[in-house]
Amino acid sequence: MSLFHDVGKIINRTKEVGILYETERWMCEMTGFSAFTLQPLAGAHGELTGIMLMAAYHKSKGNTQKKYVIIPDSAHGTNPASAAVAGYETISIPSNKDGGMDLEALKAVINDEIAGLMMTVPSTYGVFESNIEEIAKLIHSVDGIMYYDGANLNAVLGRCRPGDVGFDVMHINTHKTFTTPHGGGGPGSGPVGVNSKLEKFLPVSRVVKKSDGSFALNYDYPDSIGYIASFYGNFAILVRAYGYMLMLGKEGLKDTTDHAVLNANYIMAKLKGHYKLCFDRFCMHESVFSASLQAQRGVHAIDIAKYLIDQQIHPPTVYFPISVPEAIMIEPTETESKQVMDDFIAKMIAADELSKSNPAIFKEFPKTMPISRPDEVKAARDVKTSYFLPDAG
Ligand SMILES: *Cc1c(COP(=O)(O)O)cnc(C)c1O
């Protein structure tokens, strides 16, 4: 089927489209938005889609002066990248000492040229922003759009809906919240939800339910930003998310959130005396430590990560968020048992002890892997890929 033949048409489809329709409805229900597109292929792709919707909105309103997207300094690097790809300049807002957005700094940059704001809730510091409604008011006062980066949705699912607290558009990383494993190179998917302000700009085609209960693809949205991906993006990932939502139900999804937050706080409390904690307050689904004390002994975050590999533990994210020196960001998720977490905690404490007694040994880790310490910068910049054709002879 050619993608472009169908513009302006409604195409009848049955079951597979029904799954997509139901998935969209579930996502609307869980986030408080009125419509979703399932096309985007990753979180970053969802961000780009969302910012394009923002741009379409401003264009339709004749807001030609809109130039800037505001992004807090705790944001993931994809946020400023997406805004820039969509044609905006970005303004960075510093965080306050509790990890939230500095409101005074935000107020100082609000003017008519602000197209919108991108915010991650909870932030990459694992901190829930307590001034969302005030921030939304400021942004809406200049007809800006509030964008919710939903990468950390698993910390609030079933407890707080972004669409209810002032956001206009969001993306979900189904590979972070709706069961597909995060990491391993994908595929992921980044569905985008919107409220009624932005709905008419959503990508085509859109799934509709007809009065007789059957499903169809509707291409007849003249204000649409067009295609953002072929067909339905990563269909199989969406089916998995659908199965996960059906299996757990609304209460079960809320339960996963509660466990993700409980687990993160358990680890935070246990490691607090051993590693420097960035924000000493109740955390959401993750907490951020700094290995700055260990670094004074010559043992850096990367060394601790390599040590953990030898202990058969997949290391947590290190050196992110970038604003925290020697960052170690720990996100156990809802699925880890107490035994697994206790084992991890014991090994983290052992790493701290070892950094006092024998810091030099860390440079030898990992010892159990076929490759020990690759030059990671060179490995990323100077990629050599090759494959072997089977010997036809
Ligand atoms: C992972 C992440 C993204 C990007 O998502 P991808 O699916 O990797 O493109 C954006 N923002 C935050 C906060 C993230 O954690």
DSSP for 153-216 reads GGGTTTT--GGGTT-SEEEE-TTTTSSSPS-TT------EEE-TTTGGGSPSPEEEE-TTS-EE
The pLDDT of 110-136, averaged and rounded, is: 96
The DSSP 8-state label assigned to residue 95 in this structure reads B
Domain boundaries, the chain: 4-249, 251-372
| Tokens describing residue 357 | 């007694």
Quick one: pLDDT at residue 387?
64
Its CATH architecture, for the domain 4-249, is: 3-Layer(aba) Sandwich (3.40)
How far lies 91's CA from each of 95, 147, 177, in Å? Answer: 13, 14, 28
Q: Is the CB of 74 under 6 A from ligand 1?
A: no
How far lies 122's CA from each of 188, 287, 327, in Å? Answer: 21, 11, 17
Quick one: pLDDT at residue 3?
43
Could you give the CA distance from residue 105 to residue 264 in angstroms, rounded to a whole number? Answer: 30
Residue 323 confidence (pLDDT) above 90:
no
Tally: H helices and E strands in the chain: 10, 14
**Arithmetic mean of pLDDT over the chain:** 92
Instruction: Assign a CATH topology to domain 251-372.
Output: Aspartate Aminotransferase, domain 1 (3.90.1150)
Query: Confidence class of residue 181 from pLDDT cuts 50, 70 and 90?
Result: confident
Beta bridge partners of 95: 101
| Other Cβ atoms closer than 10 A to 179 | 18
Quick one: pLDDT at residue 62?
97
CA-only gyration radius of the chain, Å? 23
Cβ distance 87 to 55 under 8 Å?
yes
Question: What is the residue-wise DSSP string for 61-78?
Answer: TT-TT--EEEEETTS-TH
User: 216-231: string of b/e by CB count within 10 Å (b at 16+)?
Assistant: bbbbebeebbeebbee
Quick one: pLDDT at residue 382?
86
Q: Is the CB of 205 under 6 A from ligand 1?
A: no
Query: Confidence class of residue 4 from pLDDT cuts 50, 70 and 90?
Result: very low
Quick one: pLDDT at residue 8?
56
Give the nearest ligand 1 atom to 175 CA: 7
Give the nearest ligand 1 atom to 42 CA: 7
Residue 183 confidence (pLDDT) above 90:
no
Quick one: pLDDT at residue 2?
41
Quick one: pLDDT at residue 15?
67
> What is the H or E stretch that residue 124 is in?
none
Query: Confidence class of residue 188 from pLDDT cuts 50, 70 and 90?
Result: confident
Could you give the CA distance from residue 153 to residue 175 in angstroms, rounded to a whole number? Answer: 11
Q: Is the CB of 115 under 6 A from ligand 1?
A: no
Could you give the CA distance from residue 54 to residue 213 in angstroms, rounded to a whole number? Answer: 32
Q: Is the CB of 78 under 6 A from ligand 1?
A: yes
Mutate to test the pocket of ligand 1, among 76, 79, 128, 180 (most ligand atoms within 8 A of CB): 76
The pLDDT of 106-115, averaged and rounded, is: 98
The pLDDT of 4-33, averaged and rounded, is: 79
Could you give the CA distance from residue 320 to residue 191 in angstroms, rounded to a whole number? Answer: 24
Q: For a pLDDT cut of 70, what percent of the chain falls above it?
A: 93
Q: pLDDT per residue over 276-289, tens digit each?
A: 999 999 999 999 99
Quick one: pLDDT at residue 87?
96
Could you give the CA distance from residue 356 to residue 337 in angstroms, rounded to a whole number? Answer: 29
User: H-type helices in 98-159, by residue range?
Assistant: 103-109, 132-141
Mutate to test the pocket of ligand 1, among 71, 78, 85, 148 (most ligand atoms within 8 A of CB): 78
For residue 212, the CA-to-ligand 1 centroid distance in Å is 39
Q: pLDDT per residue over 205-251, tens digit each?
A: 899 988 888 888 899 999 999 999 987 789 899 999 999 999 999 99
Q: Whose CA is nearest to atom 5 of ligand 1?
A: 43
Quick one: pLDDT at residue 389?
62
Q: For a pLDDT cut of 90, what percent of the chain falls above it?
A: 77
| Tokens describing residue 252 | 């079960």
375 against 145, higher pLDDT: 145
Quick one: pLDDT at residue 210?
87
